[in-house]
Structure 1
Amino acid sequence: MAYAYLYTTEKEGNPFYKDEKIFNIILKGVQALRDFQYPDGQFEFIKTDGSKWGPIYMPWTFYHWLETYEIMKNYLPDNVRGDWETGLMPAFISFSQRDNNYLHNIPLWNSMSLHRAGIIFNNDNWKKHADVLFQKAVEEQHPDGYWEEHGGPTVTYNYVYIHAMGLYRFHGGSIDVTEALRKSAMFHQAFTYPDGSTVETIDGRVKYRKVEKRYSTTGLTGLLATSAGISYIYSLLNLFSKDRISLPHTTSLLIMLDNILDNSNVDFIDNFAGYANFTNESLELIHGKGSIIRKANRQVVLSSYTVPLCDSRWALDRQSFISIWDKNSGLILGSGNSKYQPGHSSFVICGKDGNVISYTPLSARHLSLGEVELLYYGARCTIKARIDDSGAILITYGAQKAEDFLSWYINIPLKPQFNNSVAEIKEYKQDDKNVVEFSGIYLSFQEDYKITAPSFPFNPYAKDGSSSIEEAAAVLTIYPKKDSISIKIV
């Protein structure tokens, strides 16, 4: 799609306009898709680890191929154009025959693609069928600006939803999705770290990944709908890699911008400002069941999202409820949830024999900005965090046990550098305090502890569940003797 845009767009500084080499690359690229298709037109679903998950009409592939067709159709030889149509049609026929009552990120992209195909191939029934799911998406969006997956938000996949919503709106969809995009803009303004990384603390599916330079533009088509979203995009511009970019999604964004600017279509942008942007130096905010405190080049995020344990590999256990980001070191505490691993839980409640009886809370709520209450089987627990003017952070973990024989401990996932799988951490005593030092960060506390490093969380995207060293943490486990313990971070 990116090559098609460059081939057909006559603009200053574009050396690829009507370049025969680019034309041949486009033909060979689509021929590779045709060669990869099964007889019924589906593709094999291959994950990033190379594992195969079966045939699918993958909407991202078919949508961007469809747009490439629309851009290039008048340049193609008749036999090539016919072959492309033969490859495309089975997917859209399949999408049009499905019950459009199941809302999820892939079905929404199916519907957005079907709506666009209805425009290109002049099929009003396809557009009407697609409208059904977009109406459902508007109605079922959570008031806090996200679409639930497994009972709660996933910040990363929310971009996938709003990308489809933005393209549907741009293509003239009859369902008004503007209010949904306003809410989503606020959601992402709240849950983005100052370096542009996605906040993982409230995410029930995806873990933290440090972004040295951003390359994904997923979601920006939806953010382009509002002034809040444009402010968000503007803040991201300096964070993008100049060497790597998500070409098809970026091409969609460029096509939208061309249309807005060339046609002076200022009415396309809704004048909704939302929150202060994620790059602002200070912020104190509770949004839904997440709170953000940003001060003195640091940010603390607390979550009170809970859901029951679920056997689906895509639903991580909501077990880790705090993260801390530092301007110089990036994420220093946190990294997200895992699955069936109590050793990654903020609190673990144990019985007489020391066996785990609870590691995910039954319910939770914010007591105030920077303080959450977590109700476990056997204990009422709290996490309270604050940042002082110097940037020092004090975290207090507390537990009120239902029975004296119960015990509890806490797990704090730290994010040091790993050198050949060895965590670059120093441990020593200073007066009566234990000190853990890494990446210029110092944690001090009392009580017995241990560090497990590296500790690898479950990765749903690898068939065997294995994760990389980038996803690993050094888990600091502390065994309090009293009903609370405080950790100071400088």
Structure 2
Amino acid sequence: MSLKLMIEKSFFSSAFLDAPACQRRVNTKHLGRAQLMLAPVCWILLQLTLATAAWSKQLPARYFRLLEAGIAQVGKQMDTQPAANLETLAARPGWKRFPQSILAAAVLYAKQHPANAHYGDPKMLSLAIRIGDLLATECEKGHSETCFEEEWDAHMWLEAYRLLAPELGEERRGRWRRSIEAEVAPLVSDAMKRQDFPWYNTPYIGTSPNHFASWAALMLLSGRVFGNKDWENLGARILHRFAAEEQAPDGYWGEHSRSGPTTGYNHITFTQVAFYWEYSKDPAALEALRRATDFHEHFTYPDGTPVETINDRNRYWRVDSWGHFGFSHFPDGRRYAEFLTGFFHGDDLTMDDLGRLAQDALYYHEGPTEPIPQDQPHYSYQMSVPAGIRKTGPWVVCLSGLISTQAVNSRFYLDRQGNLSVFHNKLGLIVTGAGSKRQPDLATFFEKLQGQTFHMPISSRLQMSDNSGDRLSLAYNTFFTDLYVPRPSEDHLQLRFVMTGRGEPPPEAQLNLQLCLKAGETLETAAGRRIVLGTERVELGPEELGGWIHHHGWRLKTDPMARLTWPAYPHNPYADAPETALEHAVGVVSVPLKLGAKSGKYIRPNAQEISFTLTPD
């Protein structure tokens, strides 16, 4: 019988785990450190690895290089337009949050580290002062709304003030302080009204939790820097509650409710709790950061973007620069921060990324690293709510049975109507499970009965198994479906929907998959159609599809009754209207449901089966 040894994954580097002789499925569990079964062939490598842990060779050094490149662009622009006001500077693409750039110059000047070549550089001090004086001038003119669209800009300025205060002189310190305090004071009044509300979710506090947490962090820092204990204590009380009470067990802070995450904005709330720990050392904050690190590590695609299927506010989100320093308390978190930072480049940083990377450099905790899910050939993760994710070779599949109420009078919250996504390492996102609003035709399922359209499940269950595959069950008013996802191979992934009818069939019901089609590329069908996708409406019926479509390096085998439409423009919550850009459009492959009665049976198992098979070229 072969000898096996259970070893904590924290001992192993990414290269070691990727060694072919050592590859085994890594099944990571919430709040548990993943374990790896090692065969004897790995024993020698094990002995070499146990003695030392891998240290990040990239961070925080890469932060300083990014800051150097990004702030050089700022300095060049301000030299080119010495009389430019804030509105002019912020009009440049990606520079909307220009005020946040001040922290990059301040950190480069004030943060002593061997990797920071600009420590004590008078040019960085001069540039930071120029930016701060510009902000003060705008605020004194009564243009504070253009200065600080959000509290995040004021926080970056305050961080810079704290770092540079000894160099500013009394007059400038007073000038900057007056402007910053004028931004904080209204937030204090608003926060005091809300601090004891039942939950820090939008239906109660009337704003987003990420904003409320950001108010609290700004109040805490303002109170600490300016000696206002009332502000400091109020911010600390709110942030302690975010850490100790508001976070769901799965590591997220629900924005609309605790029933599911808001993946992108969770980074922002996470950042404020991480900031709170830096100033309080509250154990509850560190525990919350550990849970949130597990959540974010697992629900991030290999391209660094957050998984959209479980997000109730955004269909897409860029690689995030927020709060890396909060991840850096933990070995795997440092590797995760390293992974995310690898997607940033100094020549195209936005101003908010520049500011947040500066904050990451300022508070980063150095130490050993350990592998993250993105480093593994296989992993699976299931939350206590019905959502989970599995990586198998090049494939990543997210299944969501999350159920939440609709926010009918808020444009910002999407209906949780998408239930699965499929990502491929080389081809990117192929099937998206993103939600939408007022668009049931984009829901995974809809049914029409009694003059209404229902497009969200009323009950769900997720079962995940390394051996038998994963099963997501979704119940609606007139049927339920079991989505079976067997373990895929390198070149083959199957989605199999099995319908069970219940009661009187609806006059109309439909299954839809949202496909991430690429404008400007060709879509080919088995029936011989070749179409270059653009703004022109495309509607292809079963005869025109012929059983499969080919696009962007993948082929999707479809049900004989499938239809395809393009382009569908999903809801944009910031515009409160459908998207207008083709880059955000999707194609929809749809199949009508046939749930007709069989011999008058109320429950009709296996009433219909619909299968899709994805293969890469």
Shorter-chain TM-score range = 0.7 to 0.9
TM-superposed deviation, 1:15: 6.0
Tell me the distance in 2 between the aligned counterparts of 1:337 and 1:392: 26
Q: Which residue of 2 aligns with 1:424?
A: 522
Secondary structure of 2:418's match? coil
Q: Which residue of 2 aligns with 1:358?
A: 454
- 1:160-197 deviations in Å (ceiling 9; x for gaps): 11111111111235563111111101111210112212
Matches within 5 A, 1:141-156: 141-151=247-257, 152-156=260-264
Query: Is 1:118 equivalent to 2:220 in the alignment?
Result: no
Query: Is 1:475 equivalent to 2:588 in the alignment?
Result: yes
Matches within 5 A, 1:433-448: 434-448=547-561
Matches within 5 A, 1:206-245: 206-209=314-317, 214=319, 216-245=320-349
Deviates more, 1:179-188 or 1:87-96: 87-96
Query: Is 1:301 equivalent to 2:398 in the alignment?
Result: yes
Q: Which residue of 1 aligns with 2:246?
A: 140
Tell me the distance in 1 between the aligned counterparts of 2:157 and 2:431: 41
Tell me the distance in 2 between the aligned counterparts of 1:230 and 1:61: 26
Q: Which residue of 2 aligns with 1:76?
A: 168
TM-superposed deviation, 1:437: 0.8
Asked whether the equivalents of residues 569 and 578 of structure 2 are also in contact (C-alpha less than 8 Å), the reply is: no
Asked whether the equivalents of residues 409 and 478 of structure 1 are also in contact (C-alpha less than 8 Å), the reply is: yes
Asked whether the equivalents of residues 362 and 375 of structure 1 are also in contact (C-alpha less than 8 Å), the reply is: yes
Amino acid at match of 1:483: Q
Tell me the distance in 1 between the aligned counterparts of 2:372 and 2:253: 22
Q: Which residue of 2 aligns with 1:160?
A: 268
Structure 1 residues 433 and 463: alpha-carbon distance in aligned structure 2, compared to 1, 3 A threshold? closer
Matches within 5 A, 1:74-473: 74-97=166-189, 98-99=191-192, 100-101=195-196, 103=200, 104-137=209-242, 138-151=244-257, 152-172=260-280, 174=282, 176-209=284-317, 214=319, 216-245=320-349, 246-257=353-364, 260=365, 276-288=372-384, 289-311=386-408, 312-334=410-432, 336-351=434-449, 357-369=453-465, 370-402=470-502, 403-419=504-520, 424-429=522-527, 434-462=547-575, 464-473=577-586
Tell me the distance in 2 between the aligned counterparts of 1:14 and 1:128: 34
Tell me the distance in 1 between the aligned counterparts of 2:573 and 2:483: 28
Asked whether the equivalents of residues 433 and 446 of structure 1 are also in contact (C-alpha less than 8 Å), the reply is: no
Amino acid at match of 1:292: I
TM-superposed deviation, 1:486: 0.8
Asked whether the equivalents of residues 510 and 590 of structure 2 are also in contact (C-alpha less than 8 Å), the reply is: yes
Structure 1 residues 276 and 69: alpha-carbon distance in aligned structure 2, compared to 1, 3 A threshold? closer
TM-superposed deviation, 1:468: 2.6
- 1:344-373 deviations in Å (ceiling 9; x for gaps): 100111349xx6621111232214452212
Tell me the distance in 2 between the aligned counterparts of 1:31 and 1:86: 12
Tell me the distance in 2 between the aligned counterparts of 1:475 and 1:38: 52
Structure 1 residues 180 and 11: alpha-carbon distance in aligned structure 2, compared to 1, 3 A threshold? closer
Amino acid at match of 1:300: V
Tell me the distance in 1 between the aligned counterparts of 2:383 and 2:563: 34
Secondary structure of 1:328's match? coil
Amino acid at match of 1:67: E
Query: Is 1:489 equivalent to 2:614 in the alignment?
Result: yes
Q: Which residue of 1 aligns with 2:109?
A: 7
Tell me the distance in 1 between the aligned counterparts of 2:114 and 2:179: 34
Asked whether the equivalents of residues 447 and 479 of structure 1 are also in contact (C-alpha less than 8 Å), the reply is: no
Deviates more, 1:361-370 or 1:133-142: 361-370
Amino acid at match of 1:445: T
TM-superposed deviation, 1:22: 3.8
Kindly indicate whether structure 1 or structure 2 has the higher relative contact order, using CA contacts under 8 Å at least 6 residues apart.
Answer: 2
Q: Which has the higher helix share?
A: 2
Amino acid at match of 2:316: Y
Tell me the distance in 2 between the aligned counterparts of 1:175 and 1:484: 51
Secondary structure of 1:488's match? strand
Tell me the distance in 2 between the aligned counterparts of 1:65 and 1:446: 57
Amino acid at match of 2:390: I
TM-superposed deviation, 1:40: 7.2
Structure 1 residues 5 and 331: alpha-carbon distance in aligned structure 2, compared to 1, 3 A threshold? same
Tell me the distance in 2 between the aligned counterparts of 1:96 and 1:404: 55
TM-superposed deviation, 1:242: 4.2
TM-superposed deviation, 1:254: 1.2
Amino acid at match of 2:377: E
Unaligned residue ranges in structure 1 (runs of 5+): 46-54
TM-superposed deviation, 1:231: 2.8
Structure 1 residues 234 and 11: alpha-carbon distance in aligned structure 2, compared to 1, 3 A threshold? closer
Identity across matched positions, percent: 23
Deviates more, 1:152-161 or 1:10-19: 10-19
- 1:185-219 deviations in Å (ceiling 9; x for gaps): 1111210112212100111011135x6xx4x4113
Secondary structure of 2:245's match? helix
Amino acid at match of 2:610: I
Deviates more, 1:449-458 or 1:62-71: 449-458
Amino acid at match of 2:476: Y
- 1:202-242 deviations in Å (ceiling 9; x for gaps): 11011135x6xx4x411312212223322322333433334
Amino acid at match of 2:345: S
Tell me the distance in 2 between the aligned counterparts of 1:335 and 1:461: 19
Deviates more, 1:185-194 or 1:364-373: 364-373
Q: Which residue of 2 aligns with 1:37?
A: 139
Tell me the distance in 1 between the aligned counterparts of 2:165 and 2:412: 39
TM-superposed deviation, 1:134: 1.6
Runs of 4+ in 1 over 4 A off after TM superposition: 9-21, 38-42, 429-433
Tell me the distance in 1 between the aligned counterparts of 2:226 and 2:180: 11
TM-score calculated relative to the size of structure 1: 0.86
Unaligned residue ranges in structure 2 (runs of 5+): 1-102, 201-208, 529-542, 595-606
TM-score calculated relative to the size of structure 2: 0.69
Tell me the distance in 1 between the aligned counterparts of 2:433 and 2:337: 24
Tell me the distance in 2 between the aligned counterparts of 1:13 and 1:134: 32
Tell me the distance in 2 between the aligned counterparts of 1:118 and 1:15: 32
* Count of matched residue positions in the alignment of Structure 1 and Structure 2: 460
Amino acid at match of 1:59: E
Structure 1 residues 435 and 149: alpha-carbon distance in aligned structure 2, compared to 1, 3 A threshold? same
Tell me the distance in 1 between the aligned counterparts of 2:452 and 2:513: 17
Aligned-residue CA RMSD in angstroms? 2.8
TM-superposed deviation, 1:34: 3.0
Structure 1 residues 276 and 12: alpha-carbon distance in aligned structure 2, compared to 1, 3 A threshold? closer
Tell me the distance in 2 between the aligned counterparts of 1:331 and 1:39: 47
Asked whether the equivalents of residues 447 and 506 of structure 2 are also in contact (C-alpha less than 8 Å), the reply is: no
Asked whether the equivalents of residues 518 and 583 of structure 2 are also in contact (C-alpha less than 8 Å), the reply is: no
Secondary structure of 2:264's match? helix
- 1:240-297 deviations in Å (ceiling 9; x for gaps): 334334111111111123xx56xxxx7xx9x9x8x95233111122223222121121
Tell me the distance in 1 between the aligned counterparts of 2:429 and 2:440: 21
